[in-house]
Amino acid sequence: MHMTDFHYFTPTEIAFGKSSEEKLTFLLKKHGAHNVLIHYGGGSAERSGLLGKIRLMLKNEGIPFCELGGVVPNPRLSLVKKGIDLCREEGVDFILAVGGGSVIDSSKCIGYGVPYEGDVWDFFDSKAVPHAAVPVGVVLTIPASGSEMSDSTVITNDGPDLKRGCNSDICRPRFAIMNPERTFTLPSYQTACGITDILMHTLERYFSKEHLGITDAVAEGLLRTVMDAGPKVLKDPFNYELRASIMWAGSLSHNGLTGCGAVSDFGTHRLEHELSTMFGVAHGAGLAALWCYWAEYVREEDPSRFDTFSRNVLDGKDAIEGMRDFFHSIGMPTSIPELIGRKATQQEIETMALRCSRGGSFKVGNFKVLGQKEMLEIYNMSNK
């Protein structure tokens, strides 16, 4: 196996630690912010005092700002369009995402849309490629998606109810402020979903036909660290070191580092997008419900890869059973019925496969390429 050519680009400046928030206005000015949109989700950022602190810091430094809240999990295109209009009206030249992956993705999408004359959904519907964007900075409160350092944006179009992604280096945030103390009060379920998403971002890169010494070692180290810290932090949620390990792992898992030289898969992610669109479930939980069945379906493509994973990450436990046991240990589901409380109907399964394959015209994955027929089989395996 050989290392494929790759382009690695990580322009995001990181301020990490207990005092990192104090660097906000310095970083905004350094990265050219003159008129800021503060973009956020629900009430937790307000209740925690974080938004109040940010408003005061910007006022004291004379940095004009406007605000747009209301981001929900599986962020909506309708709010993005409100944000685009607001940015244009207010002359916004920098977007500050305060929250987790949903807020960051919504911010990136707004950033794409402001300079674009067409419908921003064009970028997610493969009708156009972004060439410009309003820059984004992040104050991270939920470690999970890795969107604070990634080239990825995922948005749900709440008209036809489609969840699609767009990848471009121009959306990578200019900076990310990461204070692990902000994650102390995350609910256990949200923490577990985040842990699962972090693991999956590396597993989607690790399960490749390329077996690479240095990249594999980085990936395996991250996986072992998160799988060790995950169950511990659920029992000890105010442990700074555990929260810090998980927060930093979230960024490293999705900034490209754990897949340099390999061809990534991301089939499970594509399959899960349809689950969370159909049933409104948390992304991490949906990934846990599907991964073991994806793994069963593709294992014979390269059994040695699963053997290496078993040996180097799971201390010799079977790769699939080991992951199933881990997901259960942190309270994650490992099937569709566990995820939604019932079996999905055959119509729901067929609709998900139809949407994921875009009417049969689109395939996903690289470890094993999956078309509509294969998608149906994996969904049905998880639905038992």
Considering the domain architecture, whether residues 169 and 225 belong to the same structural domain is answered as: no
Considering the domain architecture, whether residues 91 and 230 belong to the same structural domain is answered as: no
pLDDT at residue 378 is higher than 90: yes
Among 191, 114, 204, residue whose Cα is nearest residue 152: 204
Q: Sign of the CA dihedral 101, 103, 104, 106?
A: positive
Considering the domain architecture, whether residues 149 and 201 belong to the same structural domain is answered as: no
Confidence of residue 43 (pLDDT cuts 50, 70, 90): confident
pTM, full prediction:
0.95
Residue that terminates a domain, selected from 182, 210, 234: 182
Considering the domain architecture, whether residues 139 and 44 belong to the same structural domain is answered as: yes
Q: State mean pLDDT over 31-39.
A: 98
Considering the domain architecture, whether residues 146 and 217 belong to the same structural domain is answered as: no
Residue that terminates a domain, selected from 182, 202, 221: 182
pLDDT at residue 107 is higher than 80: yes
**Alpha-carbon gap, residue 10 to 201, rounded angstroms:** 16
| Per-residue model confidence (pLDDT) at position 315 | 97
pLDDT tens, residue by residue, 207-229:
998 888 899 999 999 999 999 99
Considering the domain architecture, whether residues 201 and 285 belong to the same structural domain is answered as: yes
Residue that terminates a domain, selected from 123, 147, 182: 182
Asked if residue 1 is part of any domain, the answer here is no
In the chain, the percentage of residues whose pLDDT exceeds 90 is 95
Considering the domain architecture, whether residues 175 and 209 belong to the same structural domain is answered as: no
**Alpha-carbon gap, residue 246 to 243, rounded angstroms:** 5
Tokens of 197: 């998403």
Asked if residue 282 is part of any domain, the answer here is yes
Considering the domain architecture, whether residues 170 and 215 belong to the same structural domain is answered as: no
Confidence of residue 2 (pLDDT cuts 50, 70, 90): confident
- Give CA separation, 151 vs 27, 30, 90, 154, 183, in Å: 20, 21, 26, 10, 23
pLDDT at residue 159 is higher than 90: no
pLDDT tens, residue by residue, 70-82:
999 999 999 999 9
Q: Domain residues for 139?
A: 13-182
Q: State mean pLDDT over 347-357.
A: 97
pLDDT tens, residue by residue, 254-298:
999 999 999 999 999 999 999 999 999 999 999 999 999 999 999
3-state secondary structure of 239: coil
CATH number for the domain harbouring residue 97: 3.40.50.1970
The neighbour count for residue 345, using CB atoms within 10 Å, is 10
Considering the domain architecture, whether residues 175 and 190 belong to the same structural domain is answered as: no
What integer best gives the mean pLDDT of the chain?
A: 96
Considering the domain architecture, whether residues 239 and 271 belong to the same structural domain is answered as: yes
pLDDT at residue 161 is higher than 90: no
| Per-residue model confidence (pLDDT) at position 1 | 60
Considering the domain architecture, whether residues 139 and 191 belong to the same structural domain is answered as: no
Count of domains for the chain: 2
